[in-house]
Structure 1
Amino acid sequence: MLAVQQQPATTPEQPSASLPDIPSNAPQHCPGTESELAGKSDACNGCANQEICASSTKPKGPDPALPFIRERMADVKHKILVLSGKGGVGKSTFTAQLAWAFASDETTQTGVLDLDICGPSIPTILGLANEQVHSSSSGWSPVYAQPNLAAISVGFLLPSAKEAVMWRGPKKNGLIAQFLKDVDWGYLDYMLVDTPPGTSDEHLSVVQYLKESGIDGAVLVTTPQEVALQDVRREIDFCRKVGIPILGLVENMSGFVCPGCKTESKIFKPTTGGAKRLAEETNVELLGAVPLDPRIGKSADYGVSFLDDYPDSPATAAYLDIIDRK
């Protein structure tokens, strides 16, 4: 299985060495969003976040949601973020296939937390598009694709699949906090967190909310072309600035494999060396490369496990090799 190590919880007496409450694009002497000087110190002059920080009515100090999140996350053994920085590289599809693979062992409890608030696709990919979240005395109940595979997404809360989500940062952050503190996940062996493109609100929020519970690490997904690799480099920098361990890099859509003859053709040519070169440059482990298979998209549309339906595909072999890497 992917090598993950449970991170020790951070207590108030032992503050984290990283400061996830400081934006990744902040000036060098940023006081942090929880400081009384947020938006008011000399270092804040010229910062894009200055007005937001200065006008915030949120009480400074520890977020009151953190103790509740820590209590919920106490029963989650491993927490893994799936990141990229680039849209359209297959993060959600990879997250779903990883979840199906973990859940293929009936003794492994798996949960998927969909943080792509403006473009939630996990409900469709897991075959849960028409499901809704229900409340109970213990909180929101996640939606189950099978007895040991649960998911939560804003997609379950929308009146229709056509509904646009047009929220500013504070509302997004509030929903993320609710997903972590109000959802009755129960015991989980793995929580996989599917993230949107970029290094902004959703990413900073989940890191801040889970800093006391511990994040085991991040899997970064890219495609071979340089335009995708540029954003992944930024994501690597983000992880290192906020102290998220990087479990490895996955090259998705690395080539097209014909389902009939199994011949592989390069669709997105790695003009600058692809994920392999990036892994070498940044000292990040390359977990593997997943070739294009048109049936992956079909499985995602129908909400079924590609690994179960097409066990002989080279893409299935690549997925399983990544999972069993260590």
Structure 2
Amino acid sequence: MPKPTKTWRGKLALSALAISLAGGTLLGIAAAPGSAGETTSRQSAGTTANTLVDEQEYRRGPAPTAQSVIADRGPFAFRQESVPAGSGFAGGTVYYPTDTSQGTFGAIAFSPGFLENQSAVSWYGPRLASNGFVVVTINTNSGFDAPDQRADQLMAALEWLTTRSSVRTRVDPNRLAVAGHSMGGGGALSAVSENPELRAAISLTPWHTDNAWSEVTVPTLIVGAERDWIAPVRSHAEPFYQSLTGARERAYLEMNNANHFVTNRSNETIGRTVLAWAKRYVDNDSRYEQFLCPAPQAGGPIEEYRSSC
């Protein structure tokens, strides 16, 4: 089971962030062969070109298309249930596919940011659950919780999901990931730095006082925003990405002319990239590689894209 993280980083400069936030507004293609649900094996390259690792693929749902990866909903019917407070976090919502014929699903826990509640990340629940994931969006114990406290709560949410939730039998405890916005994005980085058994991290316009993450080995996606004045990319998202030298895979998507909250609402570019990252690294589904490598070109909504492709 996932182990809790240590809460020791990211406790500085909270008052400065609160002052800056006070001025803003807070939100309350050829596919690989195989049928839906098929489990296969392939050789996949790590960050070192000559390092090959045998990994299983967990294919859930039909082969993706350029249209399916930007759609608001995927092929799976899903349900959602409220999660009571306790178990190390302040409750939230769990979203899960109703289909039980294809085996278990990977799971992702999402944390909101400073002074936010789960509504800031709620749109990822239906988007990902309808594509074959179990998703829990959490409320943090306090809106003022530092990133490392949010990391602890993300791990607590995954532990609850896999051991005590009503949908625990639908979740593969070996295919877990973390994600979050702002301080929640910083929390996701902290969680994978302490828990290398996680399969992926998704860090959305992240904020953290620590900008060095070379210890992270987990495939990590960072989404930045060109006009983010709360967590400017030059001091947060970009150095976070550059420091991920130990990550098996990494990618950096910067949204053009966008602010800190661009990741808090449905967006085709972000939705496509997050879905492809989760499918590729939580499920190891190589059919989604085409949406990540070769790297998408800058232009339109994309200011910049870097990756370890």
TM over 0.5: no
Q: So what's the TM-score if we normalise by structure 2?
A: 0.37
Which of these two proteins has the greater Rg computed from alpha carbons?
1
Of structures 1 and 2, the one scoring higher in RCO (CA 8 A, sep 6+) is 1
**Comparing both structures, which one devotes a greater share of its residues to helix?**
1
**Comparing both structures, which one devotes a greater share of its residues to strand?**
2
